[in-house]
Chains A and B, each alone.
Chain A
């Protein structure tokens, strides 16, 4: 058992790697009733062509990681939700671009619930019948998102930016692609990505670290996994340009929704370097677009944005881009106002007062986030899979310099890399 102390945030984390390669983290929270656990695999919707070292690559239908997540909940004895319910736990799961996370939260029977979580995720049970039955349910899930304008405009932007990288494909796939999924392909994906060496168990709450490690160790000793080589994920080369500078679609909405962002060409960062880039970029974007910025207020006064206006930065080793926007009466004017303001700022640079204020705000936001076991588990795993460390963020925020933020501003805003996604009602586009 390894002890990792983070005095700056008053947290102590414990880590142990099981003999089969499974990495386990425990964060005890004194005085907490609840225990929250996530069991995650580094496997998401983008992993649609892969293999293991020494074996040929396979291509699988879009949406299969998410389909697999749905199917994991079924065991020969029935639905695993029922088992969690019996033990007073709320269980759930989600699939993102690069990971699949299974979770529960409970205030009692923690050992039983932990065993249930580990056992069901390590026991696939797919039949032709149960795979086919799921298609109708997932088809309805896809349709639900098709009707959701916020979802469409957001993921529409990813599609406008990326030609080849599968981040441009919906996480759930399409109605057509999910009907191509069968149990053989599900097993293939399962065996590759649900190997202990590709997974992390994170437990946070009112627990004792030693007891958790002991339970997991005994649980894993009862199972055997064939050794597996390194997983290879294969992506077609992504051109530097955006795929579509402006992508538009029609849905019934009260006002057009417009999200835009810049696709970065310099990628390949991992670990702390990637984390540092995220920190610097987030401060930079907050200074430019945050609710207390001059630009935000002038756009609001002009009626070009509403409270829905937001900004974020997504970065992985393979892609990175900003996402900015919200609802607007006039997408074109909004974009041109933003460009004018950013160009002006590029000429004079960000000042120290704005920088220090934003840094403070980000530090406060980070500390507030650490109140939430759900956020800690989710964010910790996300960083860990990319070689970073959630608990190392405080010193990173403290070390950022104004110079770095200004350099980032100049590097990020290359207007050739701008893509725009718009969802509007038919009458708003004619």
Chain B
């Protein structure tokens, strides 16, 4: 079932005319006939959860916006920089109007004055294509002054980042959009509050995929939407599968409908060269790694089921590692990512990622001691829960979870005693 990837059923839906022909912007027009608060309530009722990683209920987020403030913004998080994530890109390339429509509905719901779509800098070509799509929508009267005679005006702009994962974190994103250093802000105030959003105005920040769900909800109603997926994980989710699979790519499924095993073997083509699957990173580099046990492989893909197994669905960027992979090397790869992307603002993340990387390099060079494994485990533990934004936690995860599940991959490098996994 494709709520988002409608291009699979309707070729060229990226074009405005095609999109409109297939009920495009009908949801927006319907929303314009609704009271903004009713739009919020409908989204609330749908139990749509943010697809950017944290899974926060979208309607609830919108309802935090103080209606009395005259200036409000919607910011679309199209930074998509999590290792292994490439879904927002496909949405924007193939079904851009659904994102624009979703963003406009959000803007109407909170009575925003403008929408900014913040794209990672590498999405240069996508941003320019998007500008054209926005222009098409404007020509048809969906963007700009007095939209469809509603008396309400709203602009939609794109803004390109320039290469910084941290700008996916919402408060860093807002700083970046304001022309400031892309470092996270102290919260509270949260973006939805006065003082915490874009230019200090109340602001809704939503992921691309999240907003692309909204037209369906408004068009068909929350009840229809809730029929898809599970109670706690409503709707479909796009799973980005990469790494050791024959057929990597994006797969959209109702949440809970399939398991890891089905996803990997039935849809992503299984493991190349008949190798065994060793481990899964279910949420890119930032979610805890899990060993590919039968129990894990048979877990249905929902927020709640993954949480039960000590990991997260996050943005559902699923990276598959086969039996040949040295998990220490993988941990080092991820650590290098976070070290490179740490904004440097807060101490534990800035210093911790640097230190972890140094010690891991030493271990991989074969110069480490068994105590070095304890050392990195301890450094990572000390980074957890004390940083300004979640990147510090993300950076600790690869170490803590890899050592927990694959201690022997580390011990093999440092000549230490092999341990039973899971201790």
| A-B complex is real | no
- A residues whose Cβ falls under 8 Å from a Cβ of B: none
